[in-house]
Amino acid sequence: MSRIKMMVENEVTFGQGCEEYLEDCKARNLREGTLKHYTDSMKQLKKYIDEDIYVRVITKETIEDFIRELRDNPAINDQSLYTYARDLKTILYFFMKKEYMPYFKISIPKADKQPIDTYTDKELRKLLEKPNLKHCSFTEYKTWVMTNFLLSTGVRKNSIVNIKIKDIDFDAEVVHINVTKNRKPLIIPMNVDIKKILQEFLKYRQGNADDYLFCNAFGGKVSHSSVYHQIYEYNKSRGIERTGMHRYRHTFAKKWVTMGGNVVTLQKILGHSSLAITQNYLNILVSDIKKDVDEFNILREFKRESIKMQ
C-alpha cells in the first residue's frame, strides 16, 4: 500500500520522465553521441506513446501495443524496431528504479544480425592508390592519408578527428587515441607503412604539436560532417559509390581475421571492453567471411585435381 502511495506522490508523465532520464544521463557524463541518440529516440517513442500519459499506468500491454505499431509501420525495419524497443526498455527500468511505476520484466524482440558491409579487395586497391602529389589537391592527399590510417588502425570517426600531432609517437611507433567511445584512452601500434605515410604527410602538413593531425582548411579541428563529405567525394572520385566511415573499421576487423590476426590483440586495438564484444563483432562478420571460405575451398581444389586424373 505504501508503495502505491509513493508512486502517486511521484506522479510524472512519460514526457516529464523522459526529460528526467536525459538529465540523469548528463549527470552520469555520458558521451555527447549517446545523449543525442536518446534525444532522437525519445522523439520517435513519443509518436507512439502519449507524452502526457502517466508513467504509473504503463503496462506490458502498452509495450506490446508499441511493438505492434512499429511492426505495422513499413518505414521501420527490424533493426530500428529493436533499437526503439531497447531504448524504451532502458527508460522504463529507470522509471521503475525511481518508483514511478510498478516493476515488471520487459521482453523485447531480438533483431536479426545483418551482415556487416566491408570494402572489397578491388575497392581497396583503388582507395589505397597514392595520388600524384604534384597534381592533386591537399584535401585529396589528406583524405588518402586518412584512408590509410583508418585501414591501419580501425579507429572510429570520433577518434580520428580528435587526434593531435603530438599523439603520434614515431620513436615508439604508436598512436595515442585519447578520445574513444568508452572514454578509455588507447595506444595503437603503427605498422611500418602507415608510419612512413604519416612522416611524409607531416612534412606537407607541418603545424605544432597541439594541432589536430587531420585539420580543416584553417588548421583547426575538422567537423564530423566534413570528414564524411571528404571521404564520400574521395571514394566517388575513384569510382566507389559505397561510403561509410564505420565500413573502414569493419574492413580492418575482417582483414585482421582473414589474414590470421590474433583476436585478443584485435580486441585491444578496437578498444572493446571484453573479448565477448569482439567475438560478437566477428560473429556478424561470419557471413561475409564465408565468401572467402567458399572461394578458397581446399576440398573443391583437390576434387578438381582428382577429376583431371581420372
What CATH fold (topology level) applies to the domain 121-295? hpI Integrase; Chain A (1.10.443)
Same topology between domain 2-97 and domain 121-295? no
pLDDT at 6 over 70: no
Q: Band the pLDDT of 300: cuts 50, 70, 90.
A: low
For position 3, what pLDDT does the model report?
Answer: 40
pLDDT at 280 over 90: no
Q: How do residues 17-64 score in pLDDT, each as one tens digit?
A: 999 999 999 999 888 888 899 999 999 999 999 999 999 999 999 999
Q: Band the pLDDT of 310: cuts 50, 70, 90.
A: low
pLDDT at 7 over 50: no
- CATH number, span 2-97: 1.10.150
pLDDT at 88 over 50: yes
Is 248 buried (19+), middle (13-18) or exposed (0-12) by CB count in 10 A?
buried
Nearest to 213 by CA among 272, 150, 269: 150
For position 203, what pLDDT does the model report?
Answer: 94
State how far the Cα of 150 lies from the Cα of 160, in Å rounded to an integer. Answer: 8
**Mean pLDDT along residues 246-268:** 84
All structural domains of the chain with their residue ranges: 2-97, 121-295
Grid cell at residue 280: 560478437
Residue percentage of the chain with pLDDT more than 90: 50
Q: How far is CA 172 from CA 15, 159, 224, 268, in A?
A: 52, 20, 29, 17
Averaged pLDDT score across all residues of the chain: 85
User: What residues contact residue 192 under an 8 Å CB cut-off, 6+ apart?
Assistant: none
Determine how many CB atoms are found less than 10 A away from the CB of residue 127: 21
Considering only residues 69 and 263, tell me which one the structure prediction assigns the higher pLDDT: 69
DSSP letter at 56 equals G
For position 273, what pLDDT does the model report?
Answer: 76
pTM reported for the whole predicted model = 0.67
Phi, psi of 62 (to 5 degrees): -60, -45
For position 73, what pLDDT does the model report?
Answer: 84
For position 302, what pLDDT does the model report?
Answer: 60
Q: Band the pLDDT of 2: cuts 50, 70, 90.
A: very low
User: DSSP string of 146-214?
Assistant: HHHHHHHH---HHHHTT-BGGGEETTTTEEEE---TTS--EEEEPPHHHHHHHHHHHHHH---TTSBSS
**Is there a contact between 219 and 205 (Cβ–Cβ < 8 Å)?**
no
Q: How do residues 155-177 score in pLDDT, each as one tens digit?
A: 988 899 999 999 999 999 999 99
Grid cell at residue 159: 577518434
**Mean pLDDT along residues 202-212:** 92
State how far the Cα of 239 lies from the Cα of 2, in Å rounded to an integer. Answer: 68
| 131-147 residues labelled b (16+ CB within 10 A) or e (exposed) | eeeeeeeeebbbbbbbb
State how far the Cα of 81 lies from the Cα of 34, in Å rounded to an integer. Answer: 18
**Mean pLDDT along residues 297-310:** 57
| 23-58 residues labelled b (16+ CB within 10 A) or e (exposed) | eebeeeeeeeeeeeebeebbebbeebbeeeebbbeb
pLDDT at 5 over 50: no
